[in-house]
Every structure is written in C-alpha cells, then in structure tokens.
Amino acid sequence: MQKDIIELAQRVGQALLARQWMAATAESCTGGGVAYAITTISGSSAWFDRGFVTYTNEAKQQMLGVSAETLQAHGAVSEAVVKEMTAGALAHSQANIAVAISGVAGPTGGSDEKPVGTVWIAWQIAEGKASTKGYKFSGDREQVRLQAIREALLGLLSYSK
C-alpha cells in the first residue's frame, strides 16, 4: 500500500475519532483495499467497524441488500448500486458513515458504455442521503484500484470533518 494512502487513512481516523464516529466500507473492485488501508493504522478499531467485500452481484444482494432490480436495470458498476451499497453497509453495521465502491479495474470486463477505469463511489452518513461520484481512472488494474482507494478515503475525510 502506498505511503500517501496510509497517511490519508490516518487523517480519516483522526477526523472520525474527533466526531466519535465509526466507518464501514462496502467494496467490489477494490477487494477490501480501503478496509486494508484503514486497518494498517494502529487503533483503527476505535473508528472502523467493518468492511464488506461484495465482489459478485449475489454478494451485493445477500450482504448489503442491493436489489436485483437495480442490478438488472443499471449494472453493478453504477451510481444506483453504490447508493444501495452504502445504505446496506450502514444498515448492517454500527457505522455512522459508509463508503461503497464498484468499478471495472481491468484489464478485462470493460465495455463501450463502461470502459476499464470506470468506477462509482458513494459516501453516506447515517440518516443522510448518499453522495456519489463517477470516475474514469487510467492505468493498469493496480493503478485503477489505488486511485479508487485514494478517492474513497478523500471522500471519507471530507464527509467526516
């Protein structure tokens, strides 16, 4: 994990501690990378509740309550799905804030509509509405995943201040 990502995770932890908040993650294309970055920080159990790695559509449905209709209508890599993922992460945790990521890290799996590097991220505070952002990252699989992890942490930092 890159040093800047670990430093960013430390800043997220400080912000969450200051608010006495817990975070949860719901990850697909990053495979738990955000949770990994967070848990590299000693004492992160004071501000990190749990992470969901929901790589398949079935996992998104079973673990987070993402609807089959949403997946069918929009696909796993969509704004609608990451919104449902954050809502599910909050509903199935003790967290005050959640982040969700779904994307196409590559090198396979892309399409004309959703090329490699397409990533959707959502952040949601308990009792609030999800905020989302779509990205078109460049680079190889690892670079796409690291960029997604970085953006997820930046959003957590922004929403927890």
Residue 18, pLDDT score: 97
Instruction: List domains and CATH numbers for the chain.
Output: 3-159 (3.90.950.20)
Residue 62, pLDDT score: 98
Place of tokens 């922004």: 158
Interstrand relation of 48-53 and 97-103 (parallel, antiparallel or unpaired): unpaired
Mean pLDDT computed over 146-155? 98
Mean pLDDT score of the chain, rounded to an integer? 97
Interstrand relation of 97-103 and 131-136 (parallel, antiparallel or unpaired): unpaired
Mean pLDDT computed over 97-111? 96
Name which of 101, 107, 114, 99 is nearest 143 in CA terms.
107
- Tell me the pLDDT tens digit for each residue of 45-74: 999 999 999 999 999 999 999 999 999 999
Q: Taking the CB of residue 133, how many other CB atoms lie within 10 A of it?
A: 13
Mean pLDDT computed over 81-98? 98
Tell me: pLDDT of 3 over 90.
yes
Tell me: pLDDT of 41 over 90.
yes
Residue 144, pLDDT score: 98
Q: How sure is the predictor about 1, in pLDDT bands with cuts at 50, 70 and 90?
A: confident
- Tell me the pLDDT tens digit for each residue of 113-141: 999 999 999 999 998 999 999 999 999 99
Mean pLDDT computed over 74-78? 98
Residue 161, pLDDT score: 85
Residue 99, pLDDT score: 98
Q: What is the pTM of this model?
A: 0.98
Tell me: pLDDT of 40 over 90.
yes
